[in-house]
Amino acid sequence: MQATAVLTVRNEATFLLEWLAHHKGIGFTDFLVLSNDCDDGTAAMLDRLDAMGEIAHLPNPGPHKGGAQFTAMKRADAHPLVRGADWLMTLDVDEFVNIHVGDHTLSALRAALPEADAITLTWRVFGNCGVRDYVDTPVTERFTRAAPEVMIWPWRVFMFKTLYRNSGAYRKLGVHRPRSPTEAADSARWFDGEGRDLPARFRKQGIFSPFGRPNYRLAQINHYPLGAMESYIVKRDRGRAVHEGDTLGLDYWTERNWCQEEDLSIRQSAGLAAPHLARLRADAGLARLHSEAVTWRKARFAELMRDEANRALYGRLLLSPPARVVQPDEAEVLMRHARGGQTS
């Protein structure tokens, strides 16, 4: 069974090996990684991984009409690792598939939902929670506090990514879900990470899981969108993969800095990832490139902090507390106005 993960990156070399080892451990068999405009050695690291047979590296040069990630998906659609896959999933380097059932592998998840043609895995957003400095420590070990399992605001917290069967029901990859449905999509069975059979509308639209109820019983996406405060300044410089014109600021930070609950569940997959990570770290070329990327990241932060806009944002990050849970009556105000002032 060929399960292909498609990843788009820019200046992410310090995080690549952890991400790759984890997803190899849980059962992805193939990786198509697209890179663009890298300054930190990411492209060189991907070339080395390609030469080792660990991934396939596909450069994604501009122009990027609609954003680098959309352009990458179009390029990936025609690649043999996508066209020949049995199952597909598009991911970002700050997203980790976290499976709770069986032996914590893709096989266990598929066995739990044998009728599924598509499985939506909802983000569980892990906040910064006061971590100031970037250090070369695995993300999944350093950031362990997340949003509550059940909330009703903000809606962005409950976006999902889709693991789906490459059966011809969809012609194109998408950032959150497959696109360009065929007639076969009319009979596709969609389930969520809680194990619920999703309504027929999900066959052709939707990128949000239900609000106000659990979504994580079988699996989730551990989403680490912020990282350390230093890393957020570097991320701002890199820009967003989809919305290239949107500058990262305190608004993005505030909606994602969730620290209410400790979630250590991804540690159940650590033993699966460990041999892959050890093998990758043992390669002298990868070790050198990783070390150089760590040095680059620290130096780039120092360089960016010469700019007043970055210093001002860094100061606001230091001042800002974690997000608080919006109460139902408060959320109703937002929902009511979103409905145009209607009361129901």
pLDDT of residue 163: 98
Tell me the torsion sign for CA atoms 264, 21, 297, 39.
Answer: negative
Beta-strand relationship, 30-35 and 56-59: parallel
In the three-class reduction of DSSP (H, G, I as helix; E, B as strand; rest coil), residue 245 is classed as coil
pLDDT of residue 65: 85
pLDDT band at residue 241 under the 50/70/90 scheme: low
In the three-class reduction of DSSP (H, G, I as helix; E, B as strand; rest coil), residue 9 is classed as strand
pLDDT band at residue 206 under the 50/70/90 scheme: very high
Q: 87-96, 132-141, 222-231, 237-246: which has the minimum mean pLDDT?
A: 237-246
pLDDT tens per residue across span 331-342: 889 888 877 765
- Between CA 43 and CA 39 the distance in angstroms is 8
- Between CA 64 and CA 71 the distance in angstroms is 6
- Between CA 243 and CA 233 the distance in angstroms is 17
Which pTM was predicted? Answer: 0.96
Question: Is the pLDDT assigned to residue 344 strictly greater than 50?
Answer: no
pLDDT of residue 342: 56
Of the candidates 238, 214, 242, the one whose C-alpha atom is nearest the C-alpha of residue 227 is 238
- Between CA 248 and CA 269 the distance in angstroms is 31
Mean pLDDT in residue range 159-176: 97
pLDDT tens per residue across span 280-333: 999 999 999 999 999 999 999 999 999 999 999 999 999 999 999 999 889 889
The CB density around residue 315, as the number of other CB atoms within 10 Å, is: 10
Contacts of 27 (CB under 8 A, 6+ apart): 3, 105, 106, 107
pLDDT of residue 245: 56
What are the tokens at 133? 């400095």
pLDDT tens per residue across span 122-131: 999 999 999 9
In the three-class reduction of DSSP (H, G, I as helix; E, B as strand; rest coil), residue 165 is classed as strand
pLDDT band at residue 240 under the 50/70/90 scheme: low
Mean pLDDT in residue range 64-72: 90
Question: Is the pLDDT assigned to residue 209 strictly greater than 60?
Answer: yes
What are the tokens at 23? 């997803």
